[in-house]
């Protein structure tokens, strides 16, 4: 998210599309507020698999093949699920969730035609 914000600062006349996973988005969600405050043309696409998957990858790299229930609970972003559209709107960025390719195409087309930032949660 910060890189997309920087790209928008560098090229304010060009739209920016930010592909972002839900787990990593949690680290820098405040970028949405900056994009709203500065009216940046950034459309963030959240790939919502409801997991801190990078932590699972790092556990595997550390040789941990069977994480316990407390670790699995920590990497689960689906309990409770993050409501990305509401979170986004709370930071001043219009947000929607989609579950089909057709809905994504419609919402992405709409977002790219409207000025300012947008967020689309793609529920995987």
**Structural domain of 102:** 2-123
Q: The whole model's pTM is what?
A: 0.90
How many structural domains are present in the chain? 1
For 36-95, the pLDDT digits (tens) are 999 999 999 999 999 888 888 888 899 988 878 888 888 889 999 999 999 999 999 999
CB of 42 within 8 A of CB of 117? yes
Per-residue pLDDT tens over the stretch 99-121: 999 999 999 999 999 999 999 99
SS3 29: coil
What element of type H or E holds 123?
Answer: strand 118-123
CB 8 within 8 A of CB 35: yes
Comparing C-alpha atoms, which of 45, 47, 43, 46 is closest to residue 7? 43
CATH number where 74 lies: 3.40.50.970
Q: What is the mean pLDDT of residues 13-37?
A: 96
How many CB atoms within 10 Å of residue 122? 21
């Amino acid at each position: 998210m910060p890189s997309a914000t920087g790209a928008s600062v560098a090229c304010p006349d060009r739209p920016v599309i930010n592909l972002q996973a839900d787990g990593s988005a949690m680290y820098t969600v405040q970028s949405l507020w900056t994009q709203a405050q500065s009216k940046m043309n950034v459309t963030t696409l959240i790939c919502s698999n409801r997991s801190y998957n990078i932590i699972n990858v790092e556990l595997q790299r550390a040789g941990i093949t069977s994480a316990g229930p407390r670790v699995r609970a920590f990497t689960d972003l689906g309990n409770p699920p993050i409501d990305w559209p509401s979170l986004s709107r709370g930071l001043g960025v219009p947000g929607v969730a989609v579950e089909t390719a057709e809905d994504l195409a419609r919402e992405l087309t709409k977002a790219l035609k409207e000025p300012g930032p947008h967020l689309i949660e793609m529920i995987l």
